Amino acid sequence: MPVILVLDDDSATRNGLVDALRQLFAGARVASARSDAAPGIVAVERADVVLASLPAVERLSRGGARSAVPVVALTHEMGPDTLMKAEEQGVTGVLRVPAGAEQLAAVLGPILDALPQ
C-alpha cells in the first residue's frame, strides 16, 4: 500500500488534501503533518510520495530526507520565481493549492503508478 504524506501548515489545506487524496487513491494510506515537522517524518511514515509547501521541501532537502522520495511542491502562486525555486529543489511536480481532484490525479497518478508493487 503506497503512502502519501502531506506537509502543510494550513490545517484547512492539509485536511482538504487528505480528504481528496483518500477519495482519489483509496488503496493508499494518507498521512499528514505540519510543514515544520522534522525531516525524519518521511522515514517514520514510510512515505512513497510527499506533498509539501516549498519551505518544507527546502527543510527536507537540508535534512537529507528527499533523496529517494518523489516530492510534489504545494504553492499558492505559480509565478516564475516560485517555479524556479521548485525546480532548484528538484521536485517531481508542482501543484497550486487549493488543488482539485483532477490536478491531484494528473500529478500523483503517474507517480503512484510507477512505484514498485
CATH 1.10.1040.10 fits 3-113, yes or no: no
Q: How much is the pTM?
A: 0.91
Segments making up each domain of the chain, as ranges: 3-113
Distances from the Cα of 19 to the Cα of 1, 23, 105, angstroms = 17, 6, 13
How does pLDDT run along the chain (117 residues), one tens digit per residue?
999 999 998 899 899 999 999 999 999 999 999 988 877 888 899 999 999 988 888 888 776 655 678 999 999 888 999 989 988 888 999 999 888 999 999 999 999 999 987
If one counts every other C-beta atom within 10 angstroms of the C-beta of residue 89, the result is 16
End-to-end CA distance of the chain: 8
Q: Report the SS3 class of residue 51.
A: strand
